[in-house]
Amino acid sequence: MANPDLADITMLESASIRAVIAALDHSPIKLVLVVDDSDRLTATVTDGDVRRGLLGGRKLEDSVSTIARREFIAVGEKTRSNERDEKLRAFEIDYLPVLDSNGRVVGLHSGAKRPSQEVKPNTVVIMAGGLGMRLRPMTKTVPKPMLPLAGKPMLEHVVEGLRDEGFRDIVLSINYLGHKIEHHFGDGSTLGVNISYLAEEKPLGTGGALSLLTGDFTAPIVVMNGDVLMAAKVSDIVGYHVANGAEITVGVKVLETQIPYGVVSLEGARIVGIEEKPTYSDYVNAGVYVIDPAVLPEIPKGERFDMPDMLTSRIGTTKALAFPMHESWIDIGRPVDFDRAQQSYQAGKE
């Protein structure tokens, strides 16, 4: 991967977390360099830093300095190439900021391409059996996951993304027009993955289909909706889940809602405050989960069961955790969402 333009990944300490997220989303190396008014490097920010900040209650308008990592690895511009490579290997990083004698960034050093992605042990179950009623008439003869984006079904984009992360064992839960999905993907060999199918005789919900799984599972299972397109890495969510010892981890996305009016706060009839066109931030379910195989017996056989049902008994405990995603995310449930995804792919943004 070529080094990006330094200007695109460099932010002042006064920048907001929102601005840093925008830079990260468009950065091929998922790294932002934070500099002071004299352009001296003072900190770095990665996806993980943003996630920890959001979990810690930081707001999008807070300064990047509240989440930036002040301890970072860098090299001087006179450092020999082999010494730079040794640092990359020692700290298991892909890029090193190269600084001049005044601490200003003059370049990025990248090492040799890493070995190909190792195969993940996790099974990924993709829910692809929905009726897609809100997308009629497009879904009258085509199952929603098979609607075309950039010349191929959107479900194929999802499968290819999983494959590129190292996931090979994929299960498609099908119902409505499921034969068309099965005919297109077959056993998955043409895409370099192993695909099997769960055929729902009736819609079982986002979790009920898991009761049809057979086999022994030792690694966490990924469950995701087949109509969700996202730039966040599923492997990052799995790693977070394992590192924190969770039983279920839910990917969540920050959703901002602006009220187009002045909001009045009352105590009885007395006005105690007014805020003009406020914006509220909430976390919404992003439609991707990681679950421990030990929870599978909780799912009733042959009955409708949604993934949020699994959360009910775990709310407020460390067994159920959220993984905030700041990356691009589209839930294709309405024509306007599908149009947005089309525009995104045509523009080559994702």
pLDDT for the residue 170: 94
pLDDT above 60: residue 114: no
Are both 25 and 135 inside the same structural domain?
Answer: no
pLDDT above 60: residue 115: no
At 37, list the tokens: 């008014």
Catalytic residue (one of 277, 301, 319, 349): 277
| Domain count for the chain | 2
- Mean pLDDT across the chain, nearest whole number? 83
For residue 232, give its domain range.
Answer: 123-346
Are both 263 and 152 inside the same structural domain?
Answer: yes
Which of 73, 89, 110 finishes a domain? Answer: 110
Are both 90 and 180 inside the same structural domain?
Answer: no
Confidence of residue 346 (pLDDT cuts 50, 70, 90): low
Are both 277 and 138 inside the same structural domain?
Answer: yes
Which of 62, 86, 110 finishes a domain? Answer: 110
277 is catalytic: yes
Residue with tokens 């068309």: 180
Average pLDDT for residues 6-33, to the nearest whole number? 83
Alpha-carbon distances, residue 329 vs 218, 302, 324 (angstroms)? 29, 31, 12
Are both 79 and 144 inside the same structural domain?
Answer: no
Are both 40 and 105 inside the same structural domain?
Answer: yes
Are the C-beta atoms of 222 and 290 separated by less than 8 Å? Answer: yes
Are both 258 and 128 inside the same structural domain?
Answer: yes
φ/ψ (deg, to 5) at 109: -105, 125
Residue with tokens 């810690």: 56
Confidence of residue 3 (pLDDT cuts 50, 70, 90): low
Which of 110, 137, 166 finishes a domain? Answer: 110
At 349, list the tokens: 């943004």
pLDDT for the residue 196: 92
Are the C-beta atoms of 211 and 204 separated by less than 8 Å? Answer: yes
Are both 195 and 72 inside the same structural domain?
Answer: no
User: Which CATH number belongs to the domain containing residue 247 in this structure?
Assistant: 3.90.550.10
User: Which CATH number belongs to the domain containing residue 79 in this structure?
Assistant: 3.10.580.10
Q: Measured between alpha carbons, how far is 212 from 260 in angstroms, rounded to an integer?
A: 46
pLDDT above 90: residue 153: no
